[in-house]
């Protein structure tokens, strides 16, 4: 349950490019953060977790932030808070029925994007089942629609609760990186006492191999299944700004040059 010394991390240049992982809940950065971890360790980008919410249990929000900080300190991610207790009502219903609240939340995310100017952003896909995961997807997409035409970045859509129907990327995670992801997850003590997410990570990764070997390889499998696109700012809205930049699917082994994805 946490308490480990920080894992080894690379030295980052002051001008290192940035990557942002938009986490619907504390612990998502560990459970689905395998590609983000490779980006940090292999590409030496400055990876920060953006705590979109701190969970729905108000009595646990402050504690979850402390656990999140400890997990990020262990794995080597920076941490960006969106609000003292995280954002509230990040779901499709609030987006449709409370436009003033939703717009204020989008403004916060837009400000983070403008301040950080990330090269890569990671966030859930739009069918990730959990309402906060889906809400986070649209929160990011709405913020992107407000960005200047000059803004560009790579979009990595992640999955956890709901599976993608047409993923185009499969990224292998080494045993060492997976062990660090499991260890980082244990810092979320309250959550893993409730549901042992850390112990379920290896079999879930195995199932990703089974699925991805067909879904991704057929489009063109290793451990993390994702969707990858490029966002180029334009006047015609966020959908028009998304671009595919390779055909079919890609499989990136742990020995492959990850930088080829983001060049």
In the structure encoding, which two tokens stand for residue 244, read together?
């595919």
Position 221 scores a pLDDT of: 36
Instruction: Report which DSSP code applies to 83.
Output: S
- Alpha carbon distance 34, 40 (integer Å): 10
Average pLDDT score over the chain: 91
Q: Which residue is associated with the tokens 């986490």?
A: 23
**Which residues, including other chains, have CB under 8 Å from residue 91's CB and lie 6 or more apart?**
131, 132, 134, 135
Give Cα 123 distance to the centre of its chain.
4
Per residue in 193-243, pLDDT tens?
999 999 999 999 988 888 887 778 655 433 456 678 888 776 666 665 676
Per residue in 178-193, pLDDT tens?
999 999 999 999 999 9
Position 232 scores a pLDDT of: 79
Residue ranges and CATH numbers for the domains of the chain are 18-262 (3.40.50.10320)
Position 191 scores a pLDDT of: 93
Q: Which residue is associated with the tokens 């990671």?
A: 122
- Alpha carbon distance 116, 17 (integer Å): 9
> Which phi and psi (to 5°) does residue 168 adopt?
-125, 10
Strands 152-158 and 169-171: unpaired
Q: pTM (2 decimals)?
A: 0.92
């Amino acid at each position: 349950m946490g308490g480990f010394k920080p894992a080894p991390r690379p030295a980052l240049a002051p001008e290192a490019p940035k990557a942002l992982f938009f986490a619907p809940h504390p612990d998502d950065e560990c459970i689905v953060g395998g590609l983000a971890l490779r980006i940090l360790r292999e590409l030496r980008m400055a990876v920060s977790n953006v705590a979109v919410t701190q969970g729905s249990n108000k009595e646990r929000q402050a504690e979850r932030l402390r656990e999140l900080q400890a997990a990020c300190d262990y794995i080597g991610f920076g941490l960006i808070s969106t609000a003292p207790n995280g954002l509230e009502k990040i779901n499709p219903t609030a987006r449709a029925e409370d436009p003033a609240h939703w717009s204020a939340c989008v403004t916060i995310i837009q400000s983070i994007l403008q301040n950080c100017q990330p090269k890569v952003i990671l966030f859930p896909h739009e069918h990730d089942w959990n309402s906060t995961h889906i809400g986070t997807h649209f929160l990011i997409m709405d913020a992107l629609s407000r960005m200047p035409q000059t803004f560009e970045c790579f979009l990595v859509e992640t999955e956890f609760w709901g599976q993608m129907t047409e993923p185009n990327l499969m990224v292998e995670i080494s045993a060492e990186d997976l062990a660090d992801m499991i260890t980082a997850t244990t810092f979320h003590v309250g959550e893993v006492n409730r549901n042992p997410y850390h112990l379920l990570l290896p079999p879930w990764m195995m199932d990703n191999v089974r699925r991805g070997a067909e879904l991704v390889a057929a489009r063109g499998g290793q451990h993390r299944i994702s969707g990858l696109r490029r966002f180029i700012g334009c006047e015609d809205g966020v959908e028009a700004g998304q671009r595919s930049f390779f055909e079919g699917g890609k499989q990136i082994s742990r020995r492959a040059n990850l930088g080829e994805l983001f060049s």
